[in-house]
């Protein structure tokens, strides 16, 4: 999950189909010199296959710029135990698009998913476990000069809360990279993405598993996750302990985290062209369409209709349209 090896022709499995326009590349100039690089990781199709310690990783180059390179990466795995240690050779930020995995390293153990990523630094060694299968990520390598210009060298390893705004910037970065406009569109989105996150320090060990279990329940839509009291009963802890530990380790209250997960699901549906906001609100457990709109605007600064236009879908909302005397 850390530094993704630059693929060569020898790493492509025989019989692996390449998509039109995809290519296997050698390292760009920025990786050849003594300057350090930053690795960011998020979502992907399959182009290059590389068996690695019992798992298979695939990578596709989206953008190759003198100051950055963007790839989509997939790790297919099904082991619950820890992998062999992987050295971290560059500064990194990991963002998950789909899937869940565990990581342990200098900053301690964490559960990475769409709502929690992490920063890493050279000199660390990371181990990974996949309790529920593989994951899909985005890998961005950035020159040390760009990183220091953006962050002033103030990089601390640890968990990063990926709020809905950061996830939207991540999606828009992938769209910009695919557009081919690297000097302006992709660079601007990349700068916005890097400007957002700040890592928290290592989480206390005592309540880490409880918080991880709470996040899993919320993400999976467990019925008990609809409220703090039933969720605390499910996990066998007091509501006060769960609430305090969750905010300390994740960085936001449990309620906001739950809404962030629902906003992420709304983004998925809107990006796929969901025509009915009323149906979307009902499916995601909002009281009504107005409740959905308020929550999405609070997290992203856009209405659901505005997001549909931003993400390239201009289909008219059918929530209140009638056809032959009935509601569509």
Specify the pLDDT at position 186. 84
- Beta partners for residue 63, in sequence order: 70
Question: What CA–CA distance (Å, rounded) separates 273 from 307?
Answer: 10
Q: Kindly tell me the sign of the dihedral angle through the C-alpha atoms of 126, 139, 142, 299.
A: negative
What is the CATH number that goes with domain 208-310? 1.10.10.60
Q: What is the CA radius of gyration of the chain?
A: 21
From residue 274, give the alpha-carbon distance in Å to each of 123, 134, 167, 265, 269.
Answer: 45, 27, 19, 11, 5
Closest CA to 41 of 85, 75, 80, 76: 75
Q: What CATH topology corresponds to 38-195?
A: Jelly Rolls (2.60.120)
Structure confidence at residue 130 (pLDDT): 84
Spatial separation of the C-alpha atoms in residues 119 and 1, rounded to whole Å: 12
pTM over 0.85, yes/no: no
First to last CA, the chain: 45
Residue boundaries of the structural domains of the chain = 38-195, 208-310
DSSP label of 113: B
CA distance 297 to 3: 36
Tens-digit pLDDT profile for the chain (328 aa)? 554 333 333 333 323 333 344 433 333 333 333 333 344 443 333 344 444 445 577 888 998 888 788 888 888 876 678 888 989 877 777 889 998 888 998 888 888 888 888 877 778 898 988 888 788 988 887 777 767 766 665 556 678 888 888 899 899 989 989 988 888 788 888 877 877 665 555 555 567 889 989 999 999 989 988 888 888 889 888 887 888 888 888 888 888 899 999 999 999 999 888 889 999 999 998 889 999 999 999 999 999 999 988 887 655 544 433 333 332 2
Q: How many CB atoms lie within 10 A of CB 322?
A: 9
Q: Is 96 within 8 Å of 117 (Cβ atoms)? A: yes
Q: Burial, 35: exposed, middle or buried (Cβ in 10 Å; 0-12, 13-18, 19+)?
A: middle
């Amino acid at each position: 999950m850390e530094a993704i090896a630059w693929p060569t022709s020898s790493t492509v499995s025989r019989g692996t189909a390449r998509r039109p326009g995809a290519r296997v590349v050698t390292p760009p100039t920025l990786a050849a010199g003594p300057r350090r690089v930053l690795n960011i990781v998020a979502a992907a199709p399959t182009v290059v296959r590389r068996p690695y310690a019992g798992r298979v990783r695939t990578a596709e180059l989206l953008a190759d710029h003198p100051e950055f390179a963007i790839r989509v990466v997939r790790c297919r795995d099904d082991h619950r135990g820890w992998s062999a240690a992987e050295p971290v050779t560059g500064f990194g930020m990991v963002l998950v698009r789909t899937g869940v995995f565990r990581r342990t390293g200098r900053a301690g153990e964490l559960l990475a998913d769409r709502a929690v990523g992490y920063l890493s630094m050279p000199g660390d060694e990371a181990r990974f476990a996949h309790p529920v299968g593989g994951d899909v990520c985005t890998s961005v390598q950035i020159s040390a000069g760009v990183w220091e210009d953006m962050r002033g060298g103030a990089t601390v390893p640890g968990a990063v809360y990926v709020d809905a705004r950061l996830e939207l910037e991540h999606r828009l970065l992938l769209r910009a990279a695919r557009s081919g406009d690297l000097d302006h569109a992709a660079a601007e989105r990349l700068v916005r993405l890097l400007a957002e996150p700040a890592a928290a320090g290592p989480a206390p060990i005592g309540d880490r598993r409880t918080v991880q279990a709470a996040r899993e329940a919320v993400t999976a839509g467990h019925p008990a996750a609809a409220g703090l009291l039933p969720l605390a009963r499910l996990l066998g802890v007091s509501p006060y302990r769960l609430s305090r530990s969750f905010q300390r380790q994740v960085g936001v209250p449990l309620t906001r985290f739950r809404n962030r997960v629902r906003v992420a699901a709304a983004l998925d549906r809107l990006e796929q062209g969901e025509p009915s906001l009323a149906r979307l609100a009902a499916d995601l457990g909002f009281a009504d369409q107005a409740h959905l709109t308020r929550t999405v605007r609070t997290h992203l600064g856009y209405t659901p209709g505005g997001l549909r236009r931003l993400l390239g879908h201009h289909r008219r909302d059918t929530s209140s349209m009638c056809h032959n005397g009935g509601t569509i």
